[in-house]
């Protein structure tokens, strides 16, 4: 068993020599940095299951993961811990408020949503999508806020009426 052994540091490049490996479980260690799919893991072309959960990986997944064609299951949960003193915004805490103008009728309406409809985390991009919805006077307002899971910075806001 390689899980829960207090391994630390980045993924060792020596893993690449284990080309016949089908399942790899390195969960509950202290591995850090970015999961090196392009270097340490890419040569593991037969790998079917990978568990890197509950470590200290802090960077998004690299593009090399696309080369693991046989990978059927991956677990990266419990990573991406904030640095000391870093404040991370929880997407579930977001509130959204818009002022929508109707210049043809000379009206404005405040569209507010106190709570997100859902919080969707995408492990492969490191982004979190937070959809909101409000219905006012038969008109449906939908918006999606995209933010970085690691820092909480908002990278995109989309509104559809």
Residues 6+ apart with CB under 8 A from 145: 91, 94, 96, 129, 130, 132, 154, 156, 157, 158
pLDDT of residue 151: 62
H-run or E-run covering 139: strand 139-148
User: Kind and range of the H or E element at 147?
Assistant: strand 139-148
Residue 24: the pLDDT is 92
Architecture of the domain made up of 8-75: Alpha-Beta Horseshoe (3.80)
**Which one has a higher pLDDT value, 25 or 141?**
25
Mean pLDDT of 17-24: 89
pLDDT at 97: 73
Does residue 5 have a pLDDT over 70? Answer: yes
pLDDT digits (tens, 9 = 90+) for 44-64: 888 888 888 888 887 666 656
Specify the pTM: 0.51
Taking the C-alpha atoms of residue 14 and residue 8, their distance in angstroms, rounded to an integer, is 15
Give me the residue spans of the domains in the chain. Answer: 8-75, 91-160
């Amino acid at each position: 068993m390689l899980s829960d052994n207090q391994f630390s540091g980045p993924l060792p490049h020596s893993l690449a020599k284990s080309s016949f490996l089908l399942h790899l479980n390195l969960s509950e260690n202290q591995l850090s940095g970015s999961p090196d799919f392009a270097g340490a893991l890419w040569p593991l072309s037969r790998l079917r299951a990978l568990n890197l959960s509950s470590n200290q990986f802090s960077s998004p997944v690299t593009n090399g993961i696309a080369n693991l064609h046989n990978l059927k299951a991956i677990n990266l949960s419990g990573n991406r811990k904030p640095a000391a003193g870093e404040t991370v915004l929880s997407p579930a805490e977001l509130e959204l408020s818009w002022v929508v103008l109707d210049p043809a009728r000379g009206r404005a309406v405040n569209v507010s949503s106190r709570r997100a409809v859902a919080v969707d985390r995408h492990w492969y991009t490191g982004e979190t999508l937070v959809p909101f919805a409000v219905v006012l006077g038969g008109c449906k307002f939908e918006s999606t806020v995209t933010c970085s899971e690691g820092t909480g910075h908002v990278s995109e806001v989309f509104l559809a009426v």
